[in-house]
Amino acid sequence: MYRCEATSIEGFVHQLAVSYFGNGYWFYVTGEIPPAKDPRAVDQKLVARYGIDISKWARARNKKAGTANLQYIRFQRFFVLLASHGQHAFFDGEAPSIRDARRTPVRFYGYSISFRGGHSHVRIEQDTYKELKAYFIDLALRRSREALKEELSQIRFEPYAPIRRQLLAILREVNGLRKVAGYDPILTPCFRFRRRICHPFEQVAGGQRRTVSRPNAVNLVEV
């Protein structure tokens, strides 16, 4: 059975960036399943329509024959349908909406996920990053060092390398303001620098699935 329903934001990001973009599935469309539709029914429909549920040997044969392989992943009502290089009905049926991860990132819960320089690239999406930086700059001289350190340690983004650089840039600006004002600096151990191990499709404790609200998104694929 093809597994496609991610049970956490972190698992979705990991699977998309590492397992899919990292293995050449660069062409994608995104969509938001309407409230009136059953997400799992949509999963089955798209997986069947594009012949996604096939063995690794069939995928190898497709690649050798110049036929594209496809993957599909969903978190709550947001989904991404992906294809590798090759010939496939996907490229005709979804042509107006197809994006290339090497040029256009997937934006998901404040993450920007793309493929750049020969590897997957996960960073905090620019608008979200600007808001985060503005928030901590505003607090730089209004909170104690320990209070600021605690808030910085609660930043929810997984520390992929580009995100680590973004967080350290925020810290440098905060410490620069504190230095000018004669306040003690905040030390870097406030951040987590190792990513958690993510199992994208596992059930969370008690068999319950995590629910997170998200802004409305444009539906780009007919479901």
Q: Residue 35 and residue 198: Cα distance in Å, rounded?
A: 28
Q: Could you tell me the mean pLDDT of each successive run of 10 residues in the chain, 223 residues long?
A: 95 97 98 97 96 96 97 98 97 95 98 96 98 97 94 94 96 96 90 88 58 40 49
Return the closest-CA partner of residue 36 out of 220, 218, 223.
Answer: 223
Maximum Cα interatomic distance, the chain, rounded to a whole number of Å:
67
Q: What is the pLDDT of residue 1?
A: 85
